[in-house]
Amino acid sequence: MMLERILFCCIFVGVLVSGQISDLRYTETNNDNIGEAIQFLREFDREAAEMCNRVANAEWRFSTNATEFNKRRMREQQNLASKFECISWRRAVAFDSTRIVDTSIRRQLGRIVQQGRCGLGEDGYGELQRVLAILKEKYNDARVCPFHGAEPSYAGTFSSPGAAAAAYKSSNYVTGYTDYCDLKISPDLTRIMETSRSEAELRYYWVAWREKTGPPMRNTFMRYLHLANQAAERHGFRDAGEQMRSVYEDSDFFFTVDDLWIQLQPLYRQLFTFVRKGLLRQYGEFIIRPDGPLPAHLLGNMWAQNWRHIYALVKPGPVETPDVSGEMVRQGYTPLKMFQTAEEFFTSIGLPPMAPEFWRNSMLQTPADGGGGGQCAASAWDFCNKIDFRIKQCTQVTLDDFVNAHHEMTHIQYYMQYASQPFLYREGPNPAFHEALANAVALSVGGPAHLQKIGLLNSPVSVTNGNTAINIEYLLNMALDKLPFMAFSLAVEKWRWYIFDKGPVGMNARWWEFRLRYQGLIPPAVRGYEHFDAGAKYHVISDQDYIKYFVATVLQFQIYSELCQAALHSGPLHTCDFYRSREAGRILSDVMQQGASLSPQQLIKLMTRGRTSRMSVDALLEFFRPLEAWLELQNRDEQLVGWRSTMEDVALYQPLLGRNGGQITPIIVPGHLLLGLIVLMLVKSCF
């Protein structure tokens, strides 16, 4: 009897473990017929391009004329595209790509099989799409009441996680003037966070936006987590985080980004300390602790993802930034002239001009009738037919939009350069390359050297001395834009990978742990388990990869440095302008033409002419070296470079269970450890 019991338990444990493993990977068949694979990819190439063209046309019509009819037509085309994606996935997964020797065919099949969520099956995939649609709708429908009057005296003194929200809700501070509760995140709240210098007002809008977005989406988001993980397992990944990382084709990618950030931390901490000193002057020690982290609502952005809008607060002395936008107006620049100037930049380095279809079909400024549906975010469009490429931008005559015109036209150049590739290769090798190349061009165009060269900047610019006032101002502006964004994107994705792996228990506390660790930020009000502050960011609830912005920032400086070397630049890196360099244009064209036919590592090796195949922050550090030396001088009397967190900081988002009740953060047991504990308990019970 004892022997039978042991045998039964061992069989049961074996079934349990094997069942857990068998669900982890969708098994391919053993079809390795190269002819069938070639025929499938030929058909896919034609059908995918046609489908992409129909979707792009429908999305363009809605983005330029946001009627309900156009919205319905767009959704119909998007649904058809989703069905086509899953049909193609089922056909592609029938091939055993490991037994196909042709590397290009194997790579194309892999790009279809590994990504997406079609492994969920029709019902699961449909549910995931509905869940994401609900999350997006709730986010887009969120509206906030305007701020009226001074902050109540009780603000900042709450003793429990729910007390802050309850106090806000019970006062006119939030609920007054409810007839006018129609403020949207863009442009209303974005503009307020950029321009307001009232701590009370900024705190109010910071809290109010998170009340309207996070809690209503929390449970729906947890359903999304479950479905995304289930889909990843069916596609052969441990969880959805591993699936998202796989597009970077680096088995150590989780640690690669950590290693890159470790090298950047000293520069970030110098910038952080300098910014804290400026905010301390503005708000005083009651709000800003001289050695502590920064409250997240005071940095000129709803998510504190870039800090360039508080430049005037942190820079010592008066702001003397040259008025390039005013000079553009004086010289008669128009939106059309700005894009014609961008085109001339590319033809000067040997790249082709824009096609007639571009000028005929693009929307380069707000229509005279005010149409366009209010969607003014700059974007570049590929209509997937190799001839129709467009830009949509509500262009104003400003320096920012001038640089954006070059940025968006870089995307168009990329589309044009890889248009002859198979459809599956008509994109960057990973999600970061498009942004990286566009931003590398922007580094050249937006720098003082180029602006002086084309007659928009009359101030003296030294290409041999990086420490002139205009150079430091330029570098400080760039650092406030780039470095906090890198820290934020790393915090967002590390949090997302964590909850995909460990589950959603305590996920809001985890969110602030990562924000404190990477950015040095704390919430301005107590956050409890009922909050979902990550849901205040659209990319999180809409299932969009965010680490691409971290990678793109690293790559843009690496690419920029290579193009500057090709242009034979000498002097500080930030003074480089590769305008009119045919050799720089040749390297840019060589990289763009490959599309996704090469891995990211192979493309970096091509770009560096064989010197390295790895991402590196050396160029970024070189670019900011004059600023880092200047910051070290500015911070020489500071008691701490960086931040020191206290129990009070942590208690803002991680309340502890006391004798009188309150919250406690549950212990999180990873799934594989939980399975091991169950197995041990079963084995023990057998004996």
Q: What is the pLDDT of residues 158-214, one digit of tens each?
A: 333 333 334 443 333 443 344 578 999 999 999 999 999 999 999 999 999 999 999
Are residues 335 and 406 both part of a single domain? yes
Question: pLDDT for 319-342, tens place per residue?
Answer: 677 899 999 999 999 999 999 999
Question: pLDDT for 402-459, tens place per residue?
Answer: 999 999 999 999 999 999 999 999 999 999 999 999 999 999 999 999 999 999 998 7
Are residues 483 and 389 both part of a single domain? no
Provide the β-strand partners of residue 661: 658
Is pLDDT above 80 for 362?
yes
Are residues 373 and 516 both part of a single domain? no
Are residues 315 and 327 both part of a single domain? no
What does the pLDDT read at residue 645? Answer: 94
What does the pLDDT read at residue 174? Answer: 42
Are residues 638 and 533 both part of a single domain? yes
Note whether residue 388 is domain-resident. Answer: yes
Interval 4-24 mean pLDDT:
38
Q: Judge whether 498 and 540 are in contact, CB under 8 Å.
A: no
Are residues 265 and 138 both part of a single domain? yes
CATH code of the domain containing 293: 1.10.1370
Note whether residue 453 is domain-resident. Answer: no
The per-residue DSSP string of 14-73 comes to HHHHHHHHHTTBPPP--B--HHHHHHHHHHHHHHHHHHHHHHHHHHHHHHHS--HHHHHH
Is pLDDT above 60 for 150?
no
Domain span including residue 182? 133-148+178-322+459-656
Note whether residue 168 is domain-resident. Answer: no
Q: Judge whether 155 and 165 are in contact, CB under 8 Å.
A: no
Note whether residue 204 is domain-resident. Answer: yes
What does the pLDDT read at residue 58? Answer: 98
Q: Judge whether 476 and 624 are in contact, CB under 8 Å.
A: no
Whether 434 sits among the annotated catalytic residues: the reply is no
Is pLDDT above 90 for 149?
no
Burial of 285 per CB tally in 10 Å (0-12, 13-18, 19+): exposed
Are residues 312 and 336 both part of a single domain? no
Residues in CB range of 665: below 8 A, 6 or more apart:
506, 509, 654, 656
For residues 554 and 549, what is the distance between their CA atoms, to the nearest angstrom?
9
Task: Answer with the residue of higher pLDDT: 176 or 30.
Answer: 30
Task: Answer with the residue of higher pLDDT: 474 or 672.
Answer: 474
Interval 118-124 mean pLDDT:
93
Is pLDDT above 70 for 578?
yes
Give whole-number Cα distances, 572 to 441, 464, 560, 576, in Å: 17, 6, 13, 7
Is pLDDT above 70 for 156?
no
User: Is 407 marked within a binding site?
Assistant: yes
Catalytic residue among 47, 539, 583, 638: 539
Are residues 283 and 374 both part of a single domain? no
User: Is 546 marked within a binding site?
Assistant: no
Whether 539 sits among the annotated catalytic residues: the reply is yes
Domain count of the fold of the chain: 3
Give whole-number Cα distances, 122 to 4, 48, 82, 117, in Å: 43, 20, 10, 10
Catalytic residue among 408, 493, 513, 562: 408
User: Is 435 marked within a binding site?
Assistant: yes
What does the pLDDT read at residue 148? Answer: 84
What's the N-to-C CA distance of the chain in angstroms?
12
H or E, element range at 381: strand 379-382
What does the pLDDT read at residue 33? Answer: 82
Report the mean per-residue pLDDT for the chain. 87
Provide the β-strand partners of residue 590: none
Note whether residue 165 is domain-resident. Answer: no
Note whether residue 452 is domain-resident. Answer: no
Note whether residue 604 is domain-resident. Answer: yes
The band of 466, judged by pLDDT with boundaries at 50, 70 and 90, is: low
What does the pLDDT read at residue 313? Answer: 94
User: Is 562 marked within a binding site?
Assistant: no
Is pLDDT above 90 for 10?
no
For residues 66 and 75, what is the distance between their CA atoms, to the nearest angstrom?
13
Are residues 397 and 267 both part of a single domain? no
**Coil, helix or strand at residue 367:** coil
**Coil, helix or strand at residue 465:** coil
For residues 93 and 102, what is the distance between their CA atoms, to the nearest angstrom?
17
What does the pLDDT read at residue 280? Answer: 96
Note whether residue 437 is domain-resident. Answer: no
Residue 610: CB atoms within 10 Å: 8
Are residues 392 and 495 both part of a single domain? no
Are residues 497 and 507 both part of a single domain? yes
Are residues 472 and 533 both part of a single domain? yes
Question: pLDDT for 129-148, tens place per residue?
Answer: 999 999 999 999 999 999 98
Percent of the chain with pLDDT over 90: 78
